[in-house]
Structure 1
Amino acid sequence: MKHPMLCDTSKLIGRVLMSLLFIFAGWNKIGGYEMTEAFLVSMGIPGLVLPLVIVVELVGGLAVLLGLFTRIAAFILFLFCFAAAGLVHLSPGDAVEMTSFMKNITIAGGFLILACAGAGRFSLDHWIRDK
């Protein structure tokens, strides 16, 4: 894509699609806090990290959606996805978990690209920078 408007529009659509997963996931973890905490503990992850997970998902997702501090938020979500893949979904004998592992790795790659490329013209980052 060489046309700047098409690239900026694509970045906006990509940000929306990537962020919705994390906004909804963070919100759902609040509603199912005890169940999510029990799941983390069953995976050997201390339940005390759940508030951090919720903040990363909600705040990071909203930041990417709005294009605000996009590079930082995308990099944090890259690390989050990569860690979640390894800590929660890496189970070579389980095809379903390995599919989730690969999806997390793929999403991490998308966030890494976003961290490098930035949010584009249709973002608060762009609006703030050009003010």
Structure 2
Amino acid sequence: MTNLNSNLHVVARVFLGLLFLVAGLGKLGNVDGFAGYMASGGIPAFFAWPAVLFEILAGAAIIAGFQTRLAALALAAFCVVTAVLYHFVPADQMQMTMFFKNLGLAGGYLLLADAGSGAFSVDARKG
């Protein structure tokens, strides 16, 4: 792997991981509000805390390059599920934009799952 590719893997991991790390940390201040939003999509409110912790831990794992393939597959699935449950509203252009944004993110996570973490990662150090 060239240095450029290794550097690009780090940048991609940071960008893809920050999205969920920052989102999860932001939800810590209002988990009850997030639980209500989850319930509006048919997901029981008691899943709010696990979802917030998942976002934080999976985002951090992607950034660090730790268990990258597993974290990326989990986030890809998360993006598809949330796209379908919360954003597939054909009559609402903004929600459809969010729907396709989530699908695009899922595609990015699938590429990361395929490519792996790259040279500068916890996974690479573990061998």
- Structure 1 length as normaliser, TM-score? 0.93
The equivalences for 1:116-127 within 5 A come to: 116-127=114-125
1:26 equivalent in structure 2: 24
Q: Classify the secondary structure of the residue corresponding to 1:32.
A: helix
2:60 equivalent in structure 1: 62
What's the RMSD between the two structures over aligned residues?
Answer: 1.0
CA displacement 1:108-127 (0-9 Å, x = unmatched)? 00000100100100101001
1:90 equivalent in structure 2: 88
- Structure 2 length as normaliser, TM-score? 0.96
Q: Which runs of 5+ in 2 are unaligned?
A: none
2:100 equivalent in structure 1: 102
Indicate if the aligned counterparts of 1:40 and 1:46 stay in contact, CA closer than 8 A.
yes
In the alignment, the residues of structure 2 paired with residue 71 and residue 34 of structure 1 have an alpha-carbon distance, to the nearest angstrom, of: 31
- Aligned-residue offset at 1:42: 2.2
In the alignment, the residues of structure 2 paired with residue 89 and residue 47 of structure 1 have an alpha-carbon distance, to the nearest angstrom, of: 18
Q: Which runs of 5+ in 1 are unaligned?
A: none
- Aligned-residue offset at 1:44: 2.2
- Report the number of matched residues: 127
Runs of 4+ aligned residues of structure 1 deviating over 6 Å after TM superposition are none
- Aligned-residue offset at 1:51: 1.7
1:12 equivalent in structure 2: 10
1:43 equivalent in structure 2: 41
Indicate if the aligned counterparts of 2:27 and 2:34 stay in contact, CA closer than 8 A.
yes
- Aligned-residue offset at 1:45: 1.9
Amino acid at match of 2:15: L
CA displacement 1:48-90 (0-9 Å, x = unmatched)? 1112211221110000000000001101001101111111111
1:115 equivalent in structure 2: 113
